[in-house]
Amino acid sequence: MKILLATKNPGKIREMNKLFEDTGIEFVGLDTLKETPEVVEDGKTYHDNAMKKAMTFYHISSIPTLAEDSGLEVDALDGAPGIYSARFAGENATDEENNQKLLSLLKGVPPEKRTARFVSVLCLVIDGKPYFFEGEVKGQILEEPEGESGFGYDPLFVPEGYDMSFAVLGSEVKNKISHRARAIQKLKEFVKESFGK
């Protein structure tokens, strides 16, 4: 069975195909479509944004479609940046600019109050019906970035049970314990149950 992954990133498609290699599922990207409109993520929740992306491309492709929305929620900032994580420091902000804004807002906040969590929501649309899969990982925000690997807020986020950031731990560890990994695990179980693979 083919599932359209709502991304143009070949790395993400490769990663998903590797994770699902024992299921009979093949993921294809948006580059397989004739038209790929820009989807404005203007929902109030991760669920809204993930569903809007998945529905948009499902109606274009007519095949099962998977989309994701995710973000970082910092307790000391009342859950910000949340759904605005990718554009926290402005519409076309770089990861570095977003990280700097986060650090400036947390200036003077002691380590024990720098708790946060990454949240991932996947939406799979099959036959026009949405199914949601959620994952989260709790942790803490560092006072300065560390590590070179990963992207987004990875250099600032230390997952619970570890003493290094995601950017130091690297993709192998991250792909086992991250919010996205946990959501994908639920998706995998659903796919196996539903399609008997």
Active site residues: 69
CA neighbor of 179 nearest in space, from 69, 52, 30? 69
Decide: residue 176, CB within 10 A, 0-12 exposed, 13-18 middle, 19+ buried.
Answer: exposed
Residue 177 falls in which region: left (phi positive, over 0), alpha (psi -120 to 50) or beta: alpha
CA-to-CA distance for 31 and 152, rounded, in angstroms? 24
Name the DSSP class of 64.
Answer: -
* Two tokens, residue 162: 């570890």
| Distance, CA of 139 to CA of 116 (rounded, Å) | 5
